[in-house]
Structures are given as structure tokens and as C-alpha cells.
Structure 1
Amino acid sequence: MSDAPAYVIVGASGGIGSDLCRRLVSRGPCKIVLAARDPNKLERLADELRAINGDAEIVTRVTDATDSGAVDALFAAASATFGTIHGVTNLCGSILLKPAHLTSDKEFGDTLAVNLLTAFHVLRAAAKALTGGGSVVLMSTVATKIGLANHEAIAAAKGGINGLVISAAATYAARNIRVNAVAPGLVRTPLAERLTSSEATLKASTAMHPLGRIGEPGDVASVLAWLLDPATTWVTGQVLSVDGGLSSVRAK
């Protein structure tokens, strides 16, 4: 498996992260470092992935990506275990829906930490680890592309990620490191369960998306997998909308 692609998936145990990992192991030989905060979820996912592909090399590492030292240690361990790393994604995130005047300093700080700081920590460590080039994919949101009420904190944090993507893509292009992001609409994940479990909220959100439904984890994971694929060699500096048309289409 020395030629198999090696990935570091931060936030691997979430709804989108789990689906992404299943897709990666289903494509064939690969090596994956699964990183997240909950050790039990990580081990369950690792067992599932090994059952899908017994040849896949799966390693778990409990990591709080808001801690830059923990992220640096994660990548040091990944490089020591697998050597060359080919693809990295950060799927850490949160959802805070409040108008600015009702958002506390702590809520805003936590939103920035979980979304923007984790992205910066992962990008910085990945830039050192991807010695042979490769792909870094971050997670943005539709709320950076269309004004959505009560999204001030999360839009500010994810807007920072959009800027991070285009700047880092320019910085690291000469080293053949591609940097992109995916910007989803509402996706049916455990993180969004408070929204998707409400019939009224779900109905309103479904009506907002021109394709007539909210997203499923696979809708986003399939695009992440494509961006991480070593064959996707000519895409960088992009924030790709995966939002059912919400940011750009007005249905009849």
C-alpha cells in the first residue's frame, strides 16, 4: 500500500466526515488518519471502514483542532505513520443562528474558534506536511454567498475561510498544493438536527432551496472526495457551492 493515497480527515466522525471516509475507502487502497474529539465515535467509524475495505489502513487520533499544538501533533503523527500525505480536509464546524445584537462575546468567540481557527490550524500544518503537493479542502457555508438572517457569527467565521482559501491557494500553488472549500446549504447531519427535526423549520428551508430539498451528507461528501482525489489536479482557489441552488438560482 506504499503507493496508496494518504489522507488526514479532521472532524471525521460527523455526518459529512463519516460519509466522506466511506467514499474514500470504497475507491480502493488508501490510508486515512481519522481525527475528532470523541474517541468512541472515532473507533466505531474506524471499525466500519475496515469492514468496508480490509486493505485500508485506518488510524484514529483524538484531537481538539481549536488547539494548534494538538493539530501540529496530529500531523506529525500522520507523517510518521504514513510518510507522504496527499489530502487533508477540515470538517470542524458549528451552527449559531442568532442576530448580532443577541450574540454574546463567548458565543462569537466559540464560533470563530470552532470554524475559522480550526481551519487555519489545519491549513498551516497541512502546508508543512504536504511535501509532495496535494489537496487541502475546507468547509464554508452558503451564508457567505447570500444574505441569510441571523447568520452573522457563522457567516463572519466562514467568510474568513473563503479569504483563507484564495490567499493560501496563491501562496502554495508553486508547491502544487491545491486549496479549495465547499459551501453547503442546510444538510441533514447530527450537527443540524435541531433545525432538521423541526417540521416548520425543515419545511421553510426546503422551500428556500430551488432543487426542492435540503442536502444529504453524500451531496457534500461526493464533492469533497472529488477535490481530494489526486486526479483532480487543476482546481484551486475555489469555494464551490453545494447548496441545491440556494446561492445562485431563483426557482419559478
Structure 2
Amino acid sequence: MTHSVAETNACKLVVLGATGAVGSSLSRRLKAAGHEVFLAGRNPQVLRDLSDELAAPSLSLDVLEPGSIERTIQSARETYDHIDGVVNCIGSVLLKPAHLTSDEEWSEVLAVNLTSAFETVRSAAKVMGKQGGSVVLISSAAARVGLANHEAIAAAKAGVIGLTLSAAASYAGRGIRVNAVAPGLVKSNMTRHLWESEAAESMSSSMHALNRLGEPEQVASMIEWLLQPANDWVTGQVFGVDGGLATIVPRPRQKSR
């Protein structure tokens, strides 16, 4: 039987990476909208606090541990009678040119950003079966436009786009939708070094056509939209929430006199 928000007024959703800026913002939005949310993240204290705040079940997750994502999604499936959507907000940032990137750094970037996305799709497809649902992955504007010193993260996030398109084709017949969001630079603890000082924020903002950095809530809003069954004719898409970073060359700004 296919469950929908129209029938139950609530979806059963899994948020991986719930302790991050986007993941926590998304979790609060989903809970406020009346959905049931299963939380997973790597920071135990932050996860406990968020779980208590939202009265939501949770499970500590180490993405570098083999099988951790599958166990998490299976646990969510056991907690609820079905799963309507899974979001992978797990990610990292590495800004180095290729010649300064070590084998260990390269492997970790791939594991955190691409392998975790693949394992999310694989595990979600198993638990959703033929009932359908929504899977949302996180790519990056860096995968769609050449940015200096982004080789490793751009390669991993470009892989997420390829995964999104192929998985959307593979599982469309089951009613499983797979989409991705590709943010620009979003303010978070993970990216703090890129905007913490006034000079750094000014330089980073100027790369975006709208001349400002993103907020976690703005990315979470798009993810929430993709999870809604009302939008179940959308699949295989990559939505840029990036202030124009990947598609627009900012008009030169005149210095004030």
C-alpha cells in the first residue's frame, strides 16, 4: 500500500547528517510541518539535544564505518511501519589543489561525500520497495562550475550528480524519486573559515551573483519541497540553491567613492 501525506497528513522521514547546519534546520522544519523524523548524526551530544528538542528517535552515525548508513535506515524502518523519504545531509569541505591533496584526504572526501550518497540510495531503495518515496542528496555548486582548489570535493560532488541521474532512472518504475540540491557557500561551522572575517565574507560573497552567502534554512527549504508527495512528478533533477554561483557571472561592482 502506498502511503501519502494526503492520507496520513504526515510522512516518515530519515535525515542523515542531522547534526549539521542544514540537517538540523531541515529536521526542525519537517517536525514543525507535522512529519515524523528519524535523526542520525556523528556528534552524539548535539544529536541527543536535537532528539530531545524534537521528541524524535535518533541513532549515532559514523559514515566512515562500513554498513553504518544501511543499519541506520533499517533501524528507521523498524521504528516506523514504512519510510517515505531519506535525505543525506552528510558532507565535508576540502579546499586544496590536487598536488597538495594526500591519498588519505582524497579517500576521506570520497567516502564522506560520494560513498555515503551511494549507500543512501542503495539502502533507501531496499526499504522503500515498490511503495515509492523520495531520496534527496546534496551536491555542490563546485561540481557545476570550475572553482580553484576544489578538485577533490568537486569530483565527489559531481559524482553525486551522476548518481542522482542514474538512480532516478533505475527506480522511477517503483515510484522512488531521486533528486539533488547543489548549494553555494552556506554559512555553517564547517565553512566558518571562509566567511568568519569581514574580508573573507566579502570575497566569498562577491563570487555569488546575489552578493551574499546562503543560510542553512534556504537549502533546507528546497529539500523539504522535494520530499513533499505533492511534488511527486519531480525526479532526476539537480536544484542549484547557490545565489547564482554556478550559472551567473556577477556584473562587476563599482567601488563607492
Band the TM-score falls in, shorter-chain normalisation: over 0.9
Contact 2:207/2:250 (CA < 8 Å) preserved in 1?
Answer: no
Q: Does the CA-based 8 Å contact 1:68-1:121 persist in structure 2? A: no
| Contact 1:139 1:182 (8 Å CA) reproduced | yes
Partner of 1:156: 155
State the partner residue of 1:19: 25
Give secondary structure in 1 for the equivalent of 2:67: helix
SS in 1 for 2:149: coil
Which stretches of structure 1, 4 residues or more, deviate above 3 A after TM superposition?
Answer: none
SS at the partner of 2:93? coil
Amino acid at match of 2:37: I
State the partner residue of 1:54: none
CA distance in 1: counterparts of 2:127 and 2:195, whole angstroms: 37
Deviation at 1:239, TM superposition (A): 1.0
Q: RMSD of aligned C-alpha atoms?
A: 1.4
Unaligned runs of 5+ in 1: 51-57
1:124 aligns with: 122
Amino acid at match of 2:79: T
Tell me whether 1:82 sits opposite 2:88 in the alignment. Answer: no
> In 2, distance between residues paired with 1:49 and 1:196?
30
Amino acid at match of 2:36: K
- In structure 1, what is the equivalent of residue 244 of structure 2? 245
Matched position secondary structure for 1:179: strand
Letter in 2 for 1:78: A
Q: What TM-score do you get using the length of structure 2 for normalisation?
A: 0.92
**Structure 1 residue 37, shift from structure 2 partner:** 1.3
1:112-139 deviation line (CA, Å, top 9, x unaligned): 1110111111111001111310100000
Identity of aligned residues (%): 51
Other structure's SS at 1:240 match: strand
Classify the secondary structure of the residue corresponding to 1:174. Answer: helix
2:112 is aligned to 114
State the number of aligned residues: 244
Query: How many angstroms does 1:66 deviate by?
Result: 3.1
Structure 2 gap ranges (5+): 252-257
Paired amino acid for 1:121 = E
Distance 2:125 2:75 in 1: 15
Deviations 1:10-40 (A, max 9, x none): 0001000011011101112x21110011221
How far did 1:77 drift? 1.2
- TM-score, length basis structure 1: 0.93
Conserved 8 A contact 1:126-1:136: yes
CA deviation string 1:30-64 (max 9, x = no partner): 211100112211111122224xxxxxxx1010111
> Deviations for 1:183-234, whole angstroms, at most 9, x for unmatched residues?
0000001111121213322111111111110000011000000011121101
Whichever residue aligns with residue 153 of structure 1, its letter is A
1:34 equivalenced with 2:32 (yes/no):
no
| Cα contact 2:22–2:217 (8 A) shared by 1 | yes
- Rounded Cα–Cα distance in structure 1 between residues aligned with 2:80 and 2:219: 26
| Residues 59-113 of structure 1: CA deviation (Å, up to 9, x unaligned) | 0101112334222211221111101100101011110000001111111111111
